[in-house]
Amino acid sequence: MASKFGLAGGIPERRVRPIWDAVDSRQYKAALKLCTALLAKHPTSPYVLALKGLILERMGKPDEALSVCLNAKELLYSDNIFHFDDLTLSTLQIVFQRLERLDLATSCYEYACTKYPNNLELMMGLFNCYVREYSYVKQQQTAIKMYKTVGEERFLLWAVCSIQLQVHFSSGGEKLLPLAEALLKKHITSHSLHEPEALAFYISILEQQSKYDAALEVLSGDLGSLMGREEDKLRLQGRLLAQACNYAAASEIYQKILESCPDDWESFLHYLGCLLEHDVNLPKSRTSEHPSSLPVNSALALKTSLSEELVESRLASALTFVQKLQVNDTSDCVRGPHLANIEIERQRRRSGNPTDRKFIEALINYFHRFGHLSCAASDVEIYLHMLSSDETAELLDTVSRSFDASSLSVKALGLAITTFKVQELLGTFFSKSTTEIQHIAKGMVEAFYKNLPLSRDLDPQESMHGEELLCMASSILVQLFWRTRNLGYLIEAILVLEFGLTVRKYVTLEVKNILLESASHHILPQMLNSPLLQQTADLVIEFVQFKERLQHSMQYLSVRSDSVILSLKQKAESLEEVESILENVNHGARLVELSNEDNMKRFTFNEDLQARPWWTPTTSVNFLSEPFDEGSTPACFRAKACEHKSTEKDDPKIKDAERKALLPRLVYLSMHGCASSLRETQLNGSGLDTDATEMKPLLVKYARSIGYSIDDALSVILGMSSGKKSVKDFAPDIVSWMSFAVFINAWNLWSNESVIPRADESSPSSWQIVDSLVKICIEEQLIDANRILTSPGNNIPVLVQMITEPISWHLVVIQSCVRSMAPQGKKKKKGGPSERPNVPRLQAIQRSVQCMIDTVRGVQSWLSDQMRPEEQALDILLSYLQGGSEDGPGQISCILEENSARHNPEHGERIAQSLETWSSAGVVRRIVGAEKELLVELRKICDSKLNLLASVSASLSSALH
């Protein structure tokens, strides 16, 4: 059964190796040629067929790949197969997994394990299949079977892990914990345990059953020696003691940990929690390098039941202990004991005198000791918000006076940056006048340039000293733009960042792994709403390929839908290509399945919103589009931003992901059924009725994702199309509303149910409703649209969406209807029923086509008005930087120009050469070029739509005449 030495799936390895080498080097055509030649010699080899399927899938031919692999699967199931090995199965599994047919891979391994029930290699492959399918029960059963077959500890741990997954992800799963405990006990009796992971599993099982004393007994026995590091063992003991409410013993354990690891911030929080006797539900121990990685109140949220006197006594004891730790460690790296001092004083302030000065003194001492470190401000951020306005002023004054601003040193620069960061964190810039914060921004830029000599000897891959100053200066300039609406400030914000990138020529970063997941929100939503469809497709494809880690990610579902929608937008002018795209994704059915309510509850939200700039705390919110509120306090602004971040994952993202997942299926159903309505005679409408039945619940879900019931949503589109409801009231979701109207029209055409009842012949038809809504919405955008170069936040993204989504879906429906006019199959027999075009419907379609033509031409006309000669556009933008006022924009750009032109030998050759290439005009010219590219690409999209519409119009005219 097993593969022989030197054979690959029964084929000599020397025959197979060149094929794999070609695949690994992405030479797929060469690999296919070699594989085809090998298949000619071994036509019934499942392995060679599987290898061919893998090559075809890599070449972007999923249908052919699936067909070939299904042939290989059938051969594996035949009785005369000689070689049935894991290499063949694993190759098939790779292809089936990439084709999203995990069920086929699993069935292959299940058959193999049935045929060879005691083969460990095949059972491991089957276990991995169940892991990929999240079949926790079958994982457990397979792991126990492997354990019984060979008795290895690792398979027992796989079984226990599978049980824990059932406990975590299913209701009632905790009933399995005694089974896991019994399995482990039996193994310990017969074989003991040999791996630290096995001990961790055993203690975890006991802990989940609240058997803390039993877990402590195991840990203190012989098995406890499996813990490699004493500190890890102590952390586990401390957690178990705390959960058993033995706070005194737990606090002693945490003291021991802190004596050997004084920078263990998490252990300090647990230590303090145990002293105050409310550290009951501790999180499992995690390694934390930086104190700021945990919120300071994560273990201290509960109120203590101790008396004030006892609390004060224990806090005093804790203070004595951490002061001892401070004395024993004099390095500038260990910050934990000093932060602990602040936390203790915070607890004292909460339970005692709120005006006590020890809290502010502890903060000031911390800045004196660690203020030059880049992490200093973030370390104490949560404490800063507890200060009164007077204390804030005192802190800033004390810190700013603690260093010599004129000196050129890394430490002085670090302190200066920390001072600015503290002001930024507290929002004090918002309370200063325009003149004051402009002066601060200038100071930041000047400080960066002045300290450039500190970076002359740095490695090119290292960050430059003080580059945070440019980010903060840019942030202030954005705020100045928000306040004044003077475009010059926004241009200067870009210039400042470009200046920094010129000085520090970073290589292009390869964004891999979870960064692609957590940081994509900075660029992907904007790209999806741009006319740069090919560049966006490249980015989306890269995201979709990174899917192993994202199987339960909200971002993965959204981008998976985005990839299909983007392909449909790119190929909307070709009905055949649209059908091919939909066929490759099972006509959108899989996406609908993924978006069901149960799956949506399990999705994780992995976007790192903390990295977003203050003016756009989430992808759907931008404060710059709102008027600047002079009376808003920093605390109110901070609370508003936090509120948006906290609700982003609970509602907007879920609704948006659900709506995207429905769209491909709705496009398919719309084009599949509506065409039949043009024929007065139909052979059998049963299939259409089935599709109509499916479409209604999808439209109900679609309407719900916008926040309305289906009836209320119908009322909205009727109101907007008739002018009775203002389009502006529905602006955030207007593109979704337009698409909804398109799908309603399609459903109305072929449904037996009266979707949009008409009171009389003068009432608008569903075609007219779509036409009117599209026209009104786009005209509204064009009326509100200002000059692109002079109006940031222009209407281009919304216009792009309107043209590439709802108009595209409407045109796909129209193309389907027009195609149905062509003769189908053989001619009818003489005397049989004739297929006559439905003239009223054709006329409605022709009017709709003409409406689309007029509307898209209106967009083209607007685009033509936006086009300017490059030099003229450049002059317009540069004029914003040439104001004569000392308070207006232009001062910082002058500083950048003067400094880049001045040759300073102290900067070193590398920095000096970088500065020589920089100019404000060069940056602004790139902005102009980027804007022009957007206009050109959108113009191309409009041209393509008009060409298609002209062709459709000609076909309709021919049919009507």
Report percent pLDDT > 90 for the chain.
38
pLDDT value at residue 634: 67
Taking a C-beta distance cutoff of 8 angstroms, is the pair 800, 941 a contact? yes
Question: By CB neighbour count within 10 A (0-12 exposed, 13-18 middle, 19+ buried), where does 338 fall?
Answer: buried
How is residue 12 annotated by DSSP?
A: E
Taking a C-beta distance cutoff of 8 angstroms, is the pair 606, 576 a contact? no
DSSP readout, 857-909?
Answer: HHHHHHHHHH---HHHHHHHHHHTT----TTSTTHHHHHHHHHHHS--GGG-H
CATH 1.10.10.10 fits 1-130, yes or no: no
**H or E element: which one contains 931?**
helix 920-960
Say how many C-beta atoms besides its own lie within 10 A of residue 230's C-beta.
11
Average pLDDT (462-477) is 90
Instruction: Report the range of poorest mean pLDDT among 58-67, 355-364, 497-506, 730-739.
Output: 497-506
Model confidence band, residue 694 (pLDDT cutoffs 50, 70, 90): confident
Residue 781: closest CA among 565, 529, 566, 568: 529
Tokens 């689309």 belong to residue? 852
- Gap between the Cα atoms of 947 and 953, Å rounded: 10
Instruction: Report the range of poorest mean pLDDT among 277-281, 705-709, 726-730.
Output: 277-281
pLDDT value at residue 847: 93
Per-residue tokens: 770 = 């779509």
Spell out a b/e string for 850-875, using b for 16 or more CB atoms within 10 Å of the CB, else e.
ebbbebbebbbebbeebebeeeebbe
How is residue 829 annotated by DSSP?
A: P
Residue 145: closest CA among 127, 163, 131, 161: 127
Q: Is residue 9 pLDDT above 70, yes or no?
A: no
Instruction: Report the range of poorest mean pLDDT among 207-221, 392-406, 850-864.
Output: 392-406
The structure's pTM equals: 0.75
pLDDT digits (tens, 9 = 90+) for 342-371: 999 998 888 776 667 899 999 999 998 898
pLDDT value at residue 843: 87
Average pLDDT (616-627) is 80
Per-residue tokens: 145 = 């079977």
Could you give the 3-state DSSP secondary structure of residue 477? Answer: helix
Instruction: Report the range of poorest mean pLDDT among 428-432, 622-626, 890-894.
Output: 622-626
pLDDT value at residue 472: 93
Model confidence band, residue 29 (pLDDT cutoffs 50, 70, 90): very high
- Gap between the Cα atoms of 484 and 282, Å rounded: 49
Query: What residues contact residue 871 under an 8 Å CB cut-off, 6+ apart?
Result: none
Instruction: Report the range of poorest mean pLDDT among 395-399, 439-443, 467-471.
Output: 395-399
Query: What residues contact residue 122 under an 8 Å CB cut-off, 6+ apart?
Result: 86, 89, 109, 112, 113, 116
Could you give the 3-state DSSP secondary structure of residue 837? Answer: strand
Model confidence band, residue 195 (pLDDT cutoffs 50, 70, 90): confident
Q: Is residue 426 pLDDT above 90, yes or no?
A: no
pLDDT value at residue 359: 92
pLDDT value at residue 551: 58
pLDDT value at residue 830: 46
pLDDT value at residue 854: 95
DSSP readout, 588-622?
Answer: GHHHHHHTSHHHHHH-B----GGGS-TT-SBTTB-
Taking a C-beta distance cutoff of 8 angstroms, is the pair 932, 870 a contact? yes
Residue 753: closest CA among 712, 714, 792: 714
Average pLDDT (565-592) is 90
- Gap between the Cα atoms of 444 and 420, Å rounded: 9
pLDDT value at residue 597: 73
Q: Is the dihedral of CA 493, 497, 502, 503 positive or negative?
A: positive
Instruction: Report the range of poorest mean pLDDT among 319-323, 505-509, 531-535, 940-944.
Output: 505-509
Average pLDDT (135-146) is 93
Instruction: Report the range of poorest mean pLDDT among 304-308, 436-440, 952-956.
Output: 304-308
Model confidence band, residue 676 (pLDDT cutoffs 50, 70, 90): low
Taking a C-beta distance cutoff of 8 angstroms, is the pair 686, 733 a contact? no
pLDDT value at residue 7: 56
Report percent pLDDT > 70 for the chain.
82
**H or E element: which one contains 743?**
helix 734-750
Integer CA distances (angstroms), 53 to 38, 76, 96, 585, 689, in order: 14, 15, 9, 18, 37
- Gap between the Cα atoms of 745 and 12, Å rounded: 61
Instruction: Report the range of poorest mean pLDDT among 44-53, 701-710, 814-823.
Output: 814-823
Average pLDDT (46-52) is 92
Taking a C-beta distance cutoff of 8 angstroms, is the pair 321, 328 a contact? no
Q: Is residue 444 pLDDT above 90, yes or no?
A: yes
Q: Comparing 196 with 526, which gets the higher pLDDT? A: 196
How is residue 679 annotated by DSSP?
A: B
Q: Is residue 771 pLDDT above 50, yes or no?
A: yes
Model confidence band, residue 776 (pLDDT cutoffs 50, 70, 90): very high
pLDDT value at residue 353: 66
Residue 743: closest CA among 798, 677, 698, 789: 698
- Gap between the Cα atoms of 669 and 587, Å rounded: 9
Query: What residues contact residue 128 under an 8 Å CB cut-off, 6+ apart?
Result: 93
Model confidence band, residue 501 (pLDDT cutoffs 50, 70, 90): confident
Model confidence band, residue 541 (pLDDT cutoffs 50, 70, 90): low
In DSSP terms, which residues pair with 8 in a beta bridge? 11
Say how many C-beta atoms besides its own lie within 10 A of residue 523's C-beta.
12
pLDDT value at residue 120: 92
Q: Comparing 227 with 268, which gets the higher pLDDT? A: 268
**801 residue type, one letter:** Q
- Gap between the Cα atoms of 64 and 61, Å rounded: 6
Per-residue tokens: 79 = 């009785």
Spell out a b/e string for 658-671, using b for 16 or more CB atoms within 10 Å of the CB, else e.
bbbbbbbbbbbbbb
What is the number of alpha carbons within 13 Å of residue 334 lying toward its C-beta? 17
Angle formed at CA 887 by CA 882 and CA 892, multiple of 5 degrees: 60
Integer CA distances (angstroms), 67 to 50, 64, 96, 375, 399, in order: 10, 5, 11, 57, 71
In DSSP terms, which residues pair with 190 in a beta bridge? none
pLDDT digits (tens, 9 = 90+) for 781-837: 888 766 666 666 667 888 999 999 999 999 999 998 888 776 554 444 444 444 556
Tokens 């560049």 belong to residue? 535
Q: Is residue 403 pLDDT above 80, yes or no?
A: no
Q: Is residue 665 pLDDT above 60, yes or no?
A: yes
Taking a C-beta distance cutoff of 8 angstroms, is the pair 236, 203 a contact? yes
Task: Identify the top-confidence range among 22-36, 67-81, 633-647, 666-680.
Answer: 22-36
Taking a C-beta distance cutoff of 8 angstroms, is the pair 334, 268 a contact? no
pLDDT value at residue 6: 45
Share the mean pLDDT of the chain.
82
Query: What residues contact residue 367 under an 8 Å CB cut-off, 6+ apart?
Result: 376, 380, 395, 398, 399, 402, 418
Per-residue tokens: 764 = 């608008």
pLDDT value at residue 680: 44
Taking a C-beta distance cutoff of 8 angstroms, is the pair 34, 76 a contact? no
Could you give the 3-state DSSP secondary structure of residue 392? Answer: helix
pLDDT value at residue 611: 77
Taking a C-beta distance cutoff of 8 angstroms, is the pair 69, 50 a contact? yes
Q: Is residue 773 pLDDT above 90, yes or no?
A: yes
- Gap between the Cα atoms of 118 and 121, Å rounded: 9
pLDDT digits (tens, 9 = 90+) for 270-301: 999 999 887 544 333 333 333 333 344 443 44
Domain ranges of the chain: 1-130, 554-607+648-823+836-866
**H or E element: which one contains 799?**
helix 796-804
Q: Is residue 512 pLDDT above 80, yes or no?
A: no
Query: What residues contact residue 750 under an 8 Å CB cut-off, 6+ apart?
Result: 673, 674, 676, 677, 688, 691, 692
pLDDT value at residue 650: 58
